[in-house]
Amino acid sequence: MTLPIRIAPSILAADFAKLGQEVKDVSEAGADWIHLDVMDGHFVPNISFGPDVIKSLRPYTTATFDCHLMISPADPYLEAFAKAGCDRITVHAEAGVHLHRSLQTIRHLGKKVGVTLNPATPLSILENVLDDIDLILIMSVNPGFGGQKFIPAMADKIRNAKSLIGDRPIELEVDGGVSTETAGLIAAAGANVLVAGSAIFKGGSVDAYKQTVADLRAAAERGRLGAN
């Protein structure tokens, strides 16, 4: 199944002093989803923001809120993120021992269900939950910080994830080191959702955001065509 290319700016790289405006600007610039990186200083070595901040951002856009939880445990907080206005909630397979329970909880909260894997985590962990998820997020850097380099070995992992998905309508998202240089190979490998933080927000203006979102989309579309 071929799903549309979607560009998901990560607001981790936005100006936190004016987050509402940044969300509005990047939405106007053509973002499909807003990627929300939640970090707890325990599962990853950094702290970002939580459900109250997300709730306060909700009125600034109608774009999908794509929430990436880098927290452990995640289960006690899933309801809070659902109530804050997240449309999609993605948990790390490494964040708890009961992955299936976390996925069920997100489903019962009425949200789209995602699983993400650190670079070293094998895809085999997904084999028994494929029919319970709407999205697979391949981490192409070690989570915790923006501005890192794409790990080249993740291209094969994306390709293998795509074949594992088969005909299922599962979004294949990639996060970390996505730029106009890497977007083509990422889409060629089979991903359709591209998260980009620093590549987009370094622009600093709506016009620059618009240009980068368009460039990323074009590079991904070209990569996808080249692969066929």
- Cβ-contact 177, 143 below 8 angstroms: no
118, 160, 198, 211: which one contacts ligand DX5 (CB under 6 A)?
198
Per-residue tokens: 29: 């610039």
Helices (H) and strands (E) in the chain, counts: 8, 8
Which segment (80-88, 124-132, 180-188, 193-201) binds ligand DX5 by CB under 6 A? 193-201
What, of ligand DX5, Zn ion, none, does residue 183 touch, CB below 5 to 8 Å by kind? none
Q: State residue 152 phi and psi, 5-degree precision.
A: -55, -35
Q: Considering only residues 155 through 184, tell me which ones interact with Zn ion, judged by CB under 5 A.
A: 175
Nearer residue to Zn ion within complex by CB, 134 or 175:
175
Which segment (59-67, 71-79, 151-159, 172-180) binds ligand DX5 by CB under 6 A? 172-180
What, of ligand DX5, Zn ion, none, does residue 147 touch, CB below 5 to 8 Å by kind? ligand DX5
Q: Considering only residues 35 through 74, tell me which ones interact with Zn ion, judged by CB under 5 A.
A: 37, 68
Beta bridge partners of 10: 35
Minimal distance in Å, beta carbon 197 to ligand DX5? 3
All residues at 6 or more sequence positions from 96 whose CB lies less than 8 Å from its CB, including other chains: 72, 73, 74, 75, 102
Answer yes or no: 37 catalytic: yes
* Distance (Å, whole) CA 106 – CA 160: 25
Helices (H), 2-139: 19-28, 51-57, 78-83, 99-108
* Distance (Å, whole) CA 99 – CA 115: 9
Answer yes or no: 132 catalytic: no
What does each C-alpha distance from 161 to 103, 135, 170, 224 come to in angstroms? Answer: 18, 11, 10, 16
Which segment (72-80, 98-106, 155-163, 189-197) binds ligand DX5 by CB under 6 A? 189-197
What, of Zn ion, ligand DX5, none, does residue 189 touch, CB below 5 to 8 Å by kind? none
- Cβ-contact 173, 8 below 8 angstroms: yes
Q: Check residue 153 and report its DSSP letter.
A: T
Q: Considering only residues 104 through 163, tell me which ones interact with ligand DX5, judged by CB under 6 A.
A: 141, 143-144, 146-148
Nearer residue to ligand DX5 within complex by CB, 104 or 148:
148
Beta bridge partners of 4: none
Minimal distance in Å, beta carbon 108 to ligand DX5? 25
Question: By CB under 6 A, is residue 9 in contact with ligand DX5?
Answer: no
- Cβ-contact 17, 53 below 8 angstroms: no
Residues that bind Zn ion (CB under 5 A): 37, 68, 175
Residues that bind ligand DX5 (CB under 6 A): 10, 12-13, 35, 37, 68, 141, 143-144, 146-148, 175-178, 195-199
> Which residues are catalytic, by number?
37, 175
